[in-house]
A = this chain, B = another copy of it.
Amino acid sequence: MDSIAYVNGSFVPLSEAKVSVLDRGFLFADGIYEVAAVLDAKLVDNASHLARLKRSVGEIALELPESLQRIEEIQKELVARNKLESGLVYLEVTRGADTGRDFPFPKGVKPTLVMFTSVKDIVNAPAAKTGIAVITVPDIRWERRDIKSVALLAQVLAKQAAAAAGAGEAWMIEDGKVTEGGSSTAFILTQADVLVTRQNGREILPGCTRKAVVKLAEERQLRVEERAFTVAEALAAKEAFITSASSFVQPVVSIDGKPVGSGKPGPMAGRLREIYVDFARATAV
């Protein structure tokens, strides 16, 4: 059944939700996006997503067409209109559609705001039980990966390569170290029971789920080190897993066909997943 989308002030069937071919999101990837999970018909960790949205648009000098408060209202209205119990709300802001195509920022053009939802049973995703295979690819992206822009072609190619190999994610490698997954953060649990994930910087997106999981782990007296790690370290680790808004915490059981740890989902990934789901439900709005 057709769901309802939001486009610049109007709620319309998704199949009829359109933007101008002059929209700078379509012509230049001149836009920013966020994806928030929905559990029990509520938005998960949404303040974190909206804070990141504000930061991303600021980094490319793009003004939001609506306040963060109003954006959250629209997210909630979309969840309600679509009777969405469990799934995702996607939102994209672009620098709008000018009367023609010219690279510099247009003047007097209102930014575009688009939102739509999708149904997804994130809590009961089979991959949480089976784990996922990961492949590695060179990280060929631009130098501002901390900006959550829609210029995602490199990630599309990475995740297509993963899909073609029957894997659930591609870990991108730069200077011999894992940066992150195509649409997730990479974690390992060392043999010394230290959780390791790359420190934030321009090399990776500052993951909202990453941030929450690190905080939840530290609150439980788990040791966390924020530093880059190699594939060899990941293969020698007890466990590996990914985090993202659309998968929460998912165990990684192999990398490039080689088993991680036992080759089966590990207890720490399972435990952190449960902790995260509890946090998500308890704080959703």
A-to-B contact residues, CB < 8 Å = 5, 7, 14-15, 17-30, 33, 60-61, 90, 92, 94, 100-101, 103-105, 114, 116, 118, 138, 140-144, 149-157, 159-160, 162-164, 182-183
Contacts and interface: CB of A to CB of B under 8 A. Distances in A.
A105 B160 contact: yes
Contacts of A155: 28, 103
A66 to B, nearest CB: 17
Given A18-B19, A18-B20, A104-B163, 15 more contacts: A19-B26, A21-B92, A22-B116, A24-B156, A26-B94, A26-B150, A28-B150, A29-B29, A29-B150, A30-B153, A30-B156, A60-B157, A103-B160, A140-B142, A140-B143
Given A142-B140, A159-B103, A159-B104, A60 B18 contact: no
A162 B17 CA distance: 35
B60 A153 contact: yes
A94 B22 CA distance: 14
A114 B151 contact: no
Nearest to A159: B103
Contact of A21 (B17, B101, B142): B17
25 contacts: A7-B21, A15-B20, A17-B22, A18-B19, A18-B20, A19-B26, A21-B92, A25-B26, A26-B94, A27-B33, A27-B150, A28-B153, A28-B156, A30-B152, A60-B153, A61-B160, A100-B118, A103-B155, A103-B159, A103-B160, A104-B163, A105-B163, A140-B143, A142-B153, A144-B154
A101 B90 contact: yes
A155 B27 CA distance: 12
B144 A140 contact: yes
A124 to B, nearest CB: 19
Contacts of A19: 18-19, 21, 26
Contacts of A94: 26
Nearest to A142: B142
A142 B141 CA distance: 4
A26 B92 contact: yes
A143 B144 CA distance: 13
Contacts of A100: 118
B160 A104 contact: yes
Nearest to A119: B100
A140 B138 CA distance: 16
A183 B27 CA distance: 14
Given A60-B157, A101-B90, A21 B116 contact: yes
A152 B21 contact: no
A82 to B, nearest CB: 13
